Amino acid sequence: MSREEIKEKLTEIFRDVFDDEEIELSDSTTANDIEAWDSLEHISLIAAVEKAFKMRFTMREVSGMKNVGEMIDIIGQRIK
């Protein structure tokens, strides 16, 4: 799966989790860029991403992710 395909799938997940069809992701997107992205929604988001990509993030990965670009990189490495 290409980086662009991962980003497209993540965009669908973000729009669903945050109930906002206007969300457009970039590599630099962070929680500060999405109004509804709080700690509770973060857990829902991680769970939805793990389910969609059939993978699990480690606690280190979850706590270390600074932006969507890093999430895409981790997913890309895992689903080769």
Pick the CATH number of 3-78 from 3.60.10.10, 1.25.40.10, 1.10.1200.10, 2.40.50.140: 1.10.1200.10
Residue reference for tokens 């997940």: 13
Q: pTM score, two decimals?
A: 0.92
Q: Is residue 33 within 8 Å of 23, Cβ to Cβ?
A: no
Question: Tens digit of pLDDT for each residue in 17-72?
Answer: 999 999 999 999 999 999 999 989 999 999 999 999 999 999 999 999 999 999 99
Would you kindly state where each structural domain of the chain is located, as residue ranges? 3-78
